[in-house]
Amino acid sequence: MNTNDWISLVIAVYGAIVATVLGIAKLAENRVLIKVEAGFGVAPGIDGVLLTAANMGRRQVTLQSMALRLSNGKMLVFRPANTDSMLVRPSFPCQLKENEACNILISRDQLREELRKEDAGVVAVQFGDAVGHRFQTKFHLTASEL
C-alpha cells in the first residue's frame, strides 16, 4: 500500500467511527425516558402516597396504568376504572409531552386497607404505557408504616 491508500483508509475509518457515534447519540436522544418517583404527599382532603411519572425524554408517552408490586409477588393495578378513591392529575390515559408529569396521590387509608388484605408490603411502583413498556422504581412500604 502506498501513502495515498493509507490516507484514504484512515479517513474512511475515521468517518465510520464518527457516523456510528452520532447515530448512537441520536438514538439515545429520541428514546422514551420516564422517571418514576414515590413518596408521601398531601392534597385537600387526602393524605397519602404520592406517585409521579415524569417524561424526561423528547418523545410523547401515553401512560395507561399504574401498579404497586407487592412483597407477595402480586400487583395492585390501578386503571381508569378504579381510580375513584385516588386523586389523579391528570387521569389515565395520561399523555405526557417532554418535561410533563403525571401525579397520583393514593389515600393512606385505602392503601393500608389493601396492604392488610394482601398481608404484604409495597416493593416497587410501576407505570405502563400504551405500547407495553414498563417504568418502575423501588419503593418499600408496609401497612404499619402508613
Work out the average pLDDT over 123-136. 91
Of 65, 103, 64, 105, nearest to 86 (Cα)?
105
**What's the pLDDT tens digit per position in 6-51?**
888 889 999 999 999 988 888 777 778 899 999 988 877 778 888 9
- Residue whose grid cell is 464518527: 18
Contacts of 71 (CB under 8 A, 6+ apart): 120, 121, 122, 123
Cis peptide before 90 (omega within 30 of 0): yes
pLDDT at 82: 46
* CATH code of domain 34-145: 2.60.40
44-91 pLDDT, tens digit each: 777 888 899 999 988 899 998 888 999 999 998 865 444 455 555 456
DSSP 14-78: HHHHHHHHHHHHHHHHTS--EEEEEEEEEETTEEEEEEEEEE-SSS-EEEEEEEEEETTS-EEEE
Q: Cell numbers at residue 51, please?
A: 406517585
